[in-house]
């Protein structure tokens, strides 16, 4: 009897997203591609999607150029490329208009991406269905994901029935997206068998993270039940919150009697060496050591591996801010472990209360952010649920899709108290087309729409990040941050440190001035948008640390000095942990000063706006 073949995919994009904040530069990607190909064991490589394009912008690199160059060598070698697509959310954290979604697939196919791996964190078929059509219209393979989690609601029948619906809608392939690695092996095997019983020749790909410790057993179980492709990684970014190493997976399946490709070990070592060199260059400064180890504490909160990279960075920032507050109020500081355990416990507590959304982007971030805000607020003696970002409310209210479970009574009561309305309409109807608006803006700015309208797409998908990229601010901020991290990493431990900021007072108004040490490139012709202040009125302070913005999209008109506001009006945003937290006026009045510039990093309790009653 002929052995059944199992093929491998290298999830190179997710290797980095599961470890830290950034991805390699295009020159680094082009250098490693030949070695990946030479390994000879991969039929597929995950080249882009999800946060890939967004983090390119954050460090000042054009993502369209990166994707075009990065996919080319794999095509020439006959290896398929695939990307991660967040359905209604496209490549970002918030919903995307239908016209932008349609353009998304045309652009990515033109750039060289073969397979669109689409998922909805709510497993709402309504959000996935348009992506099947858009992908196939663009000539791509539509691979539809089922986000795997473990709860009383997410049963074998739940997933098999979902797969049947996706296949009936035209999905070419099914992905079991075990983004937190908490799928139980026996259950996953039954799900895989149930899908194959419905459509024997449907291609199934299994994506799992190693973190909690189940995934090697899960890989073996799904392969025994008909799985066709397994996602794998390469050291030093395998295991931990990442993925199983190709060496272990290949050896296990070979021993179990499956037909698998051999691995060129000299090429494996070359890839391994290059990945380490990338980490030593700059990427390692953004990889928290805790993401390099497995942790069965992740079983209870079920947080995904792809989020753990950013989570640890967020935790570090929020811990510093919280401990500053505690020191100011004479309270004992928390350690990182203290805060991490409190966060995990709070995620497990609130997850059922917000309707069991699958903990995958963006809903994992929403649940994590909400849990972290709850923990921070309660540490300061405030009440749980006292800070909920608008995007999180959209999830709770059903605007982003139908939640699998029921919302807790106390959250329903809070929504009613704030005049918020629950919705069960098709989520796409809440987000009107916007391409014409962005095209007009680009024409006014003199910006090119790009080959295959790829620059138009990038602007419409990531407006604020694209503007920061075009102005040079993104690169400047990144280089400043990298210089600071390098200095901190190389500084001798003397107990003395140079100040990071000082406060100066001008005409009775206090300002925080950041201090940068060493030679840091400054963007030429940078224009400050800071508004002259009068020093009058009451201070509006930042409730948390993050980046200050006057708007979160071009649909909004930014507030300016002299504008009248009414209590409850949104006057600005603090972008933290990938969500925009609305800052609202607490009383009627007139804006007399806007202290921070859009895009500035502000600390908790910094004065950002002044309003006179």
Q: What is the pLDDT of residues 185-202, one digit of tens each?
A: 999 999 999 999 999 999
Query: What's the mean pLDDT in 331-338?
Result: 90
* Backbone torsions φ then ψ of 501, nearest 5 degrees: -155, 160
What pLDDT band is residue 302 in, cutting at 50, 70 and 90? confident
Mean pLDDT of 530-552: 75
Q: In this predicted model, what pLDDT tens digit does every residue of 357-370 receive, in sequence order?
A: 988 878 888 898 89
Rounded CA separation 19/238 (Å) = 9
**Residue 308, pLDDT above cutoff 80:** no
What distance separates the 2 farthest-apart alpha carbons in the chain? 86
Q: What is the pLDDT of residues 426-468, one digit of tens each?
A: 999 989 999 999 999 999 999 999 999 999 999 999 998 999 9
What residues contact residue 186 under an 8 Å CB cut-off, 6+ apart? Answer: 221
Give the closest residue to 438 by CA, choosing from 457, 417, 411. Answer: 457
Give the Cα separation of 577 and 423 in Å (integer): 26
- Region 308-326: mean pLDDT is 78
DSSP, res 418: T
Beta bridge partners of 6: none
Residues 6+ apart with CB under 8 A from 372: 314, 315, 318, 343, 346, 577
Mean pLDDT of the chain: 89
| Fold held by 1-472 | TIM Barrel (3.20.20)
Helices (H), 241-335: 246-255, 265-281, 305-328
Q: What is the DSSP string of 68-106?
A: HHHHHHHHHTT-EEEEEE-GGGTTSSS---HHHHHHHHH
| Residue 579 pLDDT greater than 90, yes or no | no
Q: How confident is the model at residue 1 (pLDDT cuts 50, 70, 90)?
A: low
* Residue 285 per-residue DSSP state: G
CA-angle at 83, arms to 17 and 280, nearest 5°: 30
Q: pLDDT at residue 124 above 90?
A: yes
139-193 residue pLDDT tens:
999 999 999 999 999 999 999 999 999 999 999 999 999 999 999 999 999 999 9
Average pLDDT over residues 62-81: 97
Q: Hey, which residues does 84 pair with through a beta bridge? A: 49, 117
Domain definitions of the chain by residue range: 1-472, 526-612
Q: Give the tokens for residue 496.
A: 């003395």
pLDDT band at 403 (very low <50, low <70, confident <90, very high): very high
The two structure tokens encoding residue 335: 């350690």
> What token pair was written down for 67?
């994707």
Least confident of 232-236, 272-276, 585-589: 585-589
SS3 507: coil
**In CATH terms, is domain 526-612 a member of 3.20.20.10?**
no
CA 58, 59, 62: angle at the middle one, nearest 5? Answer: 85
CA-nearest of 377, 422, 373, 374 to 400 is: 422
N-to-C CA span, the chain: 83
Q: Which candidate, 180, 182, 178, places its Cα nearest to that of 192?
A: 178
| pLDDT value of residue 251 | 98
Residues across the chain? 613
pLDDT classification of 500: cutoffs 50, 70, 90: low
Separation between Cα atoms, residue 250 and residue 473, nearest integer Å: 44
478 pLDDT higher than 50 = yes
The candidate with the shortest Cα–Cα distance to 569, out of 552, 582, 555, is: 582
Cα(49)–Cα(139) distance, integer angstroms: 17
With contact defined as beta carbons under 8 Å apart, do 425 and 393 qualify? Answer: no
For the segment 297-310, the average pLDDT, to the nearest whole number, is 73
pLDDT band at 493 (very low <50, low <70, confident <90, very high): low
Q: Distance (Å, rounded) from C-alpha 35 to C-alpha 277?
A: 14
User: Which position has the higher pLDDT, 523 or 282?
Assistant: 282
Long-range contacts of 126-129 (CB under 8 A, 24+ apart): 126/401, 126/402, 126/426, 126/427, 126/428, 127/87, 127/88, 127/400, 127/401, 127/427, 127/428, 128/87, 128/166, 128/169, 129/169
């Amino acid at each position: 009897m002929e052995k059944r073949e199992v093929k491998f995919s290298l999830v190179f994009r997710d290797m980095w997203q599961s470890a830290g904040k950034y991805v390699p530069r295009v020159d680094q990607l082009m250098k490693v591609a030949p070695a990946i190909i030479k390994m000879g064991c991969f039929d597929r490589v995950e080249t882009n999607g999800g946060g890939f394009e967004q983090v390119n912008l954050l460090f000042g690199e054009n993502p369209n150029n990166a994707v075009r160059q990065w996919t080319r060598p794999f095509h020439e070698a006959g290896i398929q490329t695939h990307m991660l697509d967040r359905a209604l959310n496209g490549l970002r954290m918030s919903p995307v208009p239908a016209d932008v979604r349609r353009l998304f697939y045309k652009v990515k196919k033109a750039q060289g991406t073969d397979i669109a791996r689409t998922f909805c964190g709510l497993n709402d078929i309504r959000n996935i269905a348009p992506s099947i059509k858009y992908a196939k219209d663009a000539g791509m393979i539509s691979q539809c994901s089922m986000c795997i989690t473990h709860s009383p609601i997410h049963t074998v029948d739940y997933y098999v029935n979902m797969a049947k619906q996706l296949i009936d809608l035209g999905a070419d392939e099914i992905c079991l997206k075990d983004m937190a690695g908490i799928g139980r092996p026996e259950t996953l095997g039954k799900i895989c068998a149930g899908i194959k019983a419905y459509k024997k020749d449907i291609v199934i790909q299994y994506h799992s993270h190693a973190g909690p410790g189940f995934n090697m057993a899960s890989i073996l179980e799904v392969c025994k039940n008909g799985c066709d492709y397994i996602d794998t990684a390469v050291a030093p970014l395998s295991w931990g919150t990442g993925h199983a190493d190709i060496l272990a997976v290949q050896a296990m399946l070979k021993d179990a009697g499956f037909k698998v490709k051999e691995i060129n070990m000299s090429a494996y070592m070359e890839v391994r060496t290059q990945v380490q060199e990338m980490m030593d260059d700059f990427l390692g400064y953004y990889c928290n050591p805790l993401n390099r180890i497995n942790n069965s504490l992740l079983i209870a909160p079920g947080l995904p591996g792809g989020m753990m990279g950013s989570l640890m960075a967020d935790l570090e920032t929020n811990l510093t801010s919280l401990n500053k507050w505690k020191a100011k109020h004479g309270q004992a500081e928390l350690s990182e472990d203290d805060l991490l355990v409190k966060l995990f416990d709070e995620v497990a507590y609130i997850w059922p209360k917000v309707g069991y959304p699958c903990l995958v982007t963006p809903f994992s971030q929403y649940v994590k952010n909400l849990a972290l805000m709850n923990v921070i607020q309660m540490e300061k003696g405030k009440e749980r649920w006292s800070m909920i970002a608008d995007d999180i409310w959209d999830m709770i209210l059903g605007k982003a899709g139908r939640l699998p479970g029921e919302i807790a009574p106390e959250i329903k009561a809070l929504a009613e108290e704030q005049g918020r309305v629950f919705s069960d309409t098709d989520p796409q109807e809440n987000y009107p087309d916007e391409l014409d608006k962005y095209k007009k803006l680009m024409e006014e700015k003199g910006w090119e729409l790009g080959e295959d309208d790829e620059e138009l797409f990038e602007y419409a998908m990531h407006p604020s990040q694209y503007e920061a990229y075009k102005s040079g601010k993104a690169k400047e901020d990144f280089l400043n941050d990298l210089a600071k991290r390098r200095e901190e990493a190389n500084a001798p431990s003397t107990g003395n440190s140079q100040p990071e900021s000082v406060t100066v007072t001008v005409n009775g108004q206090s300002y925080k001035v950041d201090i940068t040490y060493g030679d840091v490139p400054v963007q030429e012709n940078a224009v400050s948008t800071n508004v002259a202040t009068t020093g009058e009125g009451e201070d509006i302070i930042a409730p948390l640390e993050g980046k200050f913005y006057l708007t979160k999209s071009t649909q909004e008109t930014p507030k300016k000095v002299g504008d009248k506001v009414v209590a409850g009006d949104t006057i600005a945003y603090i972008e933290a942990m990938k969500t925009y937290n609305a800052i609202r006026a607490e009383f009627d009045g007139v804006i007399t000063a806007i202290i921070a510039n859009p895009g500035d990093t502000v600390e908790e309790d910094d004065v950002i706006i002044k309003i006179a009653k």
